[in-house]
Structure 1
Amino acid sequence: MSPRWTADPNIRRGRSIVHDLHAHLVFVTKYRRGVLDEAMLARCEQVMTDVCASMEAELAEFNGEDDHVHLLVRYPPKLAISTLVNSLKGVSAHYLRKEFTGQINRHLIHGHLWSPSYFAASCGGAPLAIVKDYIDRQKCPE
């Protein structure tokens, strides 16, 4: 006899929750200065992967240019995005400043690598129009 449904390996399960949360994050360097090079981006990805793992999240994708980075992060519902962002930016800035002192120091303003602002968008799953339509079509009890 076959089961009613097949478990999706991408969906995470907890004791009382089933979730699949993703966020697209963008961090910009202070004053959009072109500070980051290929070696720095590679190290930044390593550091951010470790930070995510320590917070029970997963860095699914990472890429960037000389003045910004893009991240796609899978995260648990107990983790606030603002907490994740603060850790990612703080820890990555610490290691990049420490390991690439000569390259970064001439571009830093008051010791800050990242702009205090960031972009965050939820993503994954069905488009909003489909979710709205699905909810609208639910049967109301009579």
Structure 2
Amino acid sequence: MSTSEQVLDSPSGWVAEHINRYVATDGDKGHEWRPGVFTLLLTTRGRRSGKLRRTALIYGRDGEAYVIVASQGGDPRHPAWYLNLEADPTAQVQVGADRFTARARTATPEEKARLWPMMTDIWPAYDDYQAKTERDIPVVVLERV
């Protein structure tokens, strides 16, 4: 991913505002989204458009790895960022002021059994989202390259 390429932020208004605050303050405002709930910025390459796409996601930690959930609020479809990572698992990540390249992978069923409760401790609504949809909501592991 080239640093000179234009990055398109989430089309969701409040998410775009969150991203703008996060970027403008180098993560000082936005990293902690709500008390005890931290977010990272994930930039993927669009699988069809080829454009860089950025969104903000709640995360947890598993050792050195970052963990995110492809919930999309319980929508029956996977979020676009997840489909983009399936097509190209290389992503740019910003956590606070720290920016790095990561490789993404979907957690194995064994890993998910361990990571899902950790993520629902951070954001209990993930259980509600899973109950709303028939799809198995993926847990994604981001490992620094």
TM-score category, normalised to shorter length:
under 0.3
Structure showing greater radius of gyration is 1
**Structure with the higher helix share, 1 or 2:** 1
TM-score, structure 2 as length reference = 0.26
